[in-house]
Amino acid sequence: MGKTALISGITGQDGSYLAELLLAKGYTVHGLLRRSSSFNTERIDHIYQGPQHPERTLVLHHADLSDGVALVNLLRETEPDEVYNLGAQSHVRVSFDTPLYTADTTGLGTLRLLEAIRASGVDTRIYQASSSEMFGSTPPPQNEDTPFHPRSPYGCAKVYGYWSTVNYREAYGMFAVNGILFNHESPRRGETFVTRKITRAVARIGAGLQDRLYLGNLDAVRDWGYAPEYVEAMWLMLQRDEPDDYVVATGVPATVRDFLQAAFAAGGLEWERYVRFDPKYERPSEVDALVGDPAKAERLLGWRPRTHWRELAELMVAADREALDAELSGATVRIDR
Ligand code: NAP
Ligand code: G4F
């Protein structure tokens, strides 16, 4: 019998790659799907199995991190060996506009899931999607011992989720781990995060569909890795004998301007001709520099990053150009990359 996993956030960037990884390993995967008035399963449509499928290994369930009772019921019904809590309002800028909502889903949502595991009595392991945003203004390099100083409602909510996870490990002996992941991107990255906003714009400007790109702070430093590699680290954390917390990062810094330049160059364009500043995209308090030290993950998980920011910019531009070409020619857009 293969293992069973439950993923919150399965329709997001990471959830879709993690679902693929676990299915390839022979897991039965249950995904938490939140109700939306429009389709929100685009990232997993290529692996979707309908209710009539004879041997379903991917099953979606309507639930929400704001509904604790639904979480208990779902855990009792699916009895997962592993739970991955990836669900969140994950946009930092938006968290300043919706701080209470962000605290509820991203912060309290984690506590609800931990408590639902306890209430259901299911014997399981849980991965919490913690974030480098928790380090906030503490200067790099950041590792597992670096103090937190969050700079947004999102960062504060993630700190709450982090400590709740540690608390359930210490108080109840739960196998609960935090993956402190630095920024990771892919062709499936949400269109309003800066990397994808840039690579989509490169494709659209190249096709003559757009002539301006408005951005905020270009001086911020980030440590950008490749999402499919980062979900491998999540899985490895839950295969250890003991629960622990790990930083997952490339250790390689780049500014938003560096990424911008590389992405436009990959599209054969000069970014200065098209990019304009709009203060709308600045944050009330910014995180200036995030650069992780992944030594512990390398040592204990045997995990290493393979793709760095420049290559990432190139592969994302290529994917956005391919998707746009397909869209313009009326063909189906491929998502299995
Ligand atoms: P994402 O693409 O924004 O996906 C977020 C997922 O959470 C989506 O499936 C979304 O559903 C779901 N969700 C939102 N609110 C929910 C709620 N109330 N109940 C249940 N599900 C809800 O995020 P991601 O980039 O894949 O990141 C995955 C996780 O890692 C998030 O927790 C994020 O904060 C964290 N993280 C990300 C990074 C990064 O660089 N990507 C770095 C560190 C940590 P819909 O599809 O319906 O919106
Ligand atoms: O792409 P971003 O929105 O990502 P940010 O804020 O670093 O957060 C992401 O990574 C975190 C891990 O560190 C995750 F926890 C979180 O869920 C999310 O996935 O912005 C990156 C940088 C920022 O400094 C921002 O100020 O780009 C700057 N930026 C400049 N212009 C912009 C823009 N960001 C966005 N989204 N849009 C702009 O127009």
Q: Please, which residues have CB within 8 angstroms of residue 40's CB and are 6 or more apart in sequence? A: 11, 33, 34
Query: How would residue 331 be classed by pLDDT, with cut points 50, 70 and 90?
Result: confident
Per-residue model confidence (pLDDT) at position 335: 62
Number of H helices, E strands in the chain: 11, 13
- Residues 73 and 55: their CA atoms lie apart, in Å, by 23
Q: Taking Cα atoms as reference points, which of 292, 22, 53 lies closest to residue 183?
A: 292
Contact, 152 vs 220, CB < 8 A? no
Atom 27 of ligand 2: nearest residue by CA position: 194
pLDDT at 1 over 90: no
- Residues 108 and 147: their CA atoms lie apart, in Å, by 21
Atom 25 of ligand 2: nearest residue by CA position: 217
222 CB less than 6 Å from ligand 2? Answer: yes
Please report the domains of the chain, with CATH numbers, ordered by start residue: 4-186+226-248 (3.40.50.720), 194-221+253-290+307-329 (3.90.25.10)
Per-residue model confidence (pLDDT) at position 200: 98
How crowded is the C-beta side of 13, counted as CA atoms within 13 Å? 22
- The answer to whether the predicted template modeling score (pTM) of the entire model surpasses 0.85 is yes
Rounded to the nearest angstrom, the distance between the alpha carbon of 272 and the centre of ligand 1 is 32
Per-residue model confidence (pLDDT) at position 332: 63
Per-residue model confidence (pLDDT) at position 20: 98
pLDDT at 310 over 70: yes
pLDDT tens profile 147-158:
999 999 999 999
Catalytic-residue membership of 154: yes
Rounded to the nearest angstrom, the distance between the alpha carbon of 194 and the centre of ligand 2 is 6
Catalytic-residue membership of 133: yes
Atom 35 of ligand 1: nearest residue by CA position: 129
- Residues 150 and 157: their CA atoms lie apart, in Å, by 9
Q: Where are the beta strands (DSSP E) in 9-102?
A: 28-33, 58-62, 82-85
Query: How would residue 65 be classed by pLDDT, with cut points 50, 70 and 90?
Result: very high
Contact, 70 vs 80, CB < 8 A? no
Q: Where are the beta strands (DSSP E) in the chain?
A: 4-8, 28-33, 58-62, 82-85, 125-131, 175-181, 184-185, 213-215, 221-222, 225-226, 245-248, 254-255, 275-277
List phi, psi (to 5°) of 221: -105, 130
